[in-house]
Amino acid sequence: MVAEFLSVIGEVELDLRVRVVVVTNEGTKFCAGVDLAEDSHDARGASTRRTTDLAELLNQIMSSPKPFVGRLNGHCVAGGLSLAAAMDISIAVSHEMFGFTEVRIGVAPAIISVVCLVKIRRVDAKLLSCGGIDLSPRRRRDSA
């Protein structure tokens, strides 16, 4: 998916008719990041390549001269959270779930946290990084 996304970004940046890029989803999940089970069975090179590709994708979105808008119509966890954070603005439905769910199995959100930490409150960053806590609007409202 990352390679396809990078290709589309290249196309829209060259198309003068495109003034804004809206990224959305079909179904109940916006993005859940990479398949960690697949990473554990791959050779180290494949995992490193996926990491490099993700970093390139996030950099392309953040450095694009065209605004990127995330229309998050479903759960947004793990690497998906970095995709949403890389957008110029992301708008989520109220039943959305956000979280660094990979920390629950001992995987640190290394690359994705770099993009996310500048966009969220410090206390939320701690909750996400230490426990993978769901920061959905509903959970935040119910716990207030």
Identify whether 56 is a catalytic site residue: no
> Which amino acid appears at position 99 of this protein?
G
The token pair that represents 44 in the structure block:
């180290």
Q: Give 5's contacts (C-beta < 8 A, 6+ positions apart).
A: 57
In the structure encoding, which two tokens stand for residue 2, read together?
């990352």
Query: What burial letters (b/e) apply to 102-113, b meaning 16+ CB within 10 Å?
Result: bbeeeeebeebb
Token digits of residue 27: 């179904």
Is the CB of residue 87 less than 8 Å from the CB of residue 106? no
**Residues acting as catalytic residues:** 102
